Structure 1
């Protein structure tokens, strides 16, 4: 009977300890969020956390001991080297195809159209994945195909952060090859609009009677690392539907980008002209 009573008495203590541990963990994670934009002094960090200075100092020191925070004299607390290590390891483990697959499957089911995933490789759009649509539309693409950047929606989405100098060079190279003929002035005007909209269209430029809506996927730094496109026959892709579908495509890439560590508002790094 004594043993049972002892066990009963210990259970609230153990539960209380678990709650306190969870609370401390959440506070630590909150503190990392509070210093994400740069050094924060103790008084300001305490105010942001809603904790006393002594509690904030104690929690910050624990994070410093583990390398999650660092302290700069006269400036304050900022993210520590351990997060750089974890970020590097996480980026190396991130497989964009695996991460994006459930998202693009959902988009394909919702749109009933074919969804492609691709990335930039040797100034071509490399198709990494394809989810077939439900409509009786044959999209002549295969995983592993390489398509021109300037004539495909997916390719144009991969170029949205590039300079006009890079656009012109790639456009001329595509035109010198087997890309469909196009007028650069008209193409450039559309590309500027695509940059503002954050997505790109293929208006039967790459394949007759096939249209698509595409948008870029970004990593934690904001850089474009891949893109997705939704493709279908022109009869299912009038101008109004392409505009409405843009919201679904942009929402999907935002989710995939979030899975890769991107947060809204992160400005993409300036991409120098590629030669």
Structure 2
């Protein structure tokens, strides 16, 4: 029983940290944390105080909670091992500059995707659904579709079962019966297409990235308003995104080889 409670505490702690991270550096309130996590106020407050004591969270003068220096230190150490954001920054900037819309790099985190990088192009109207720190179920958005499609069918089934309740609650327009058609389309084209199923008029394309052992680790994504990603432009940008993803894969593989 104690091991179960311990696992629950770890899970709740990470829920709190992700809620704070979703504030993108701006202080968040206790009410915001409870809303994002579904935790009771006393539980959330107790976890926040413990995280503050460890230096993982700080409370700002304006009464907002932000990630603390210990969190930054852990991130620096992790980046030395993976370095994905640093390697992907060039391609993401180049894609945004060339297409004029927003480009992203996200990584896979078990049954979810986590956005690490965003770069905006020059086109004045932008979609703001995806920001650094945004965590979505696999299969949501262009990059999520691409990552999901890169898994084998048994793993896809496990993923869809694990995230079914979350998707039904937060993404009701991304219908479960459409998942497999999105996967089939992505496997045929080489890139995933989100036609505004997450937020109306926010469309996206995504191309998956694998590590040197062939496992899905992330995706490059382009997002724009719907009028900017109609079929003709999909056919232009999709293959370009696939080429960028392949080039980024080679860089990641080379970095992994040097570490090993």
In the alignment, structure 1 residue 97 sits paired with structure 2 residue 89? no
The answer to whether the 8 A contact 1:219-1:257 is kept is yes
In the alignment, structure 1 residue 246 sits paired with structure 2 residue 244? no
For residue 169 of structure 2, the aligned residue among 167, 177, 198 is 177
Alignment match, 2:116: 128
Gaps of 5+ in 2: 1-78, 255-260
How many residue pairs match? The answer is 172
Within 5 A, what are the aligned runs for 1:1-275? 93-140=81-128, 141-162=130-151, 163=153, 164-170=156-162, 172-261=164-253
Largest Rg, 1 or 2:
1
CA RMSD of aligned residues (A): 2.1
The answer to whether the 8 A contact 2:103-2:120 is kept is yes
Gaps of 5+ in 1: 1-90, 263-275
- In 1, Cα distance between the equivalents of 2:145 and 2:237? 17
CA offset digits 1:62-118 (Å, max 9, x no partner): xxxxxxxxxxxxxxxxxxxxxxxxxxxxx9744111111111111111111100111
Task: Pick the structure with more helix per residue.
Answer: 2
Report deviation, 1:188.
1.2
- In 1, Cα distance between the equivalents of 2:196 and 2:220? 17
- In 1, Cα distance between the equivalents of 2:220 and 2:204? 10
CA offset digits 1:9-50 (Å, max 9, x no partner): xxxxxxxxxxxxxxxxxxxxxxxxxxxxxxxxxxxxxxxxxx
- In 1, Cα distance between the equivalents of 2:175 and 2:136? 19
The answer to whether the 8 A contact 1:215-1:249 is kept is yes
- In 1, Cα distance between the equivalents of 2:173 and 2:196? 12
Report deviation, 1:169.
1.2
- In 1, Cα distance between the equivalents of 2:95 and 2:108? 22
Classify 1:189/1:167 alpha carbon distance in 2 versus 1 (closer, same or farther; 3 Å).
Answer: farther
Normalised by the size of structure 2, how large is the TM-score?
Answer: 0.61
Normalised by the size of structure 1, how large is the TM-score?
Answer: 0.58
Alignment match, 2:8: none
Report deviation, 1:161.
2.5
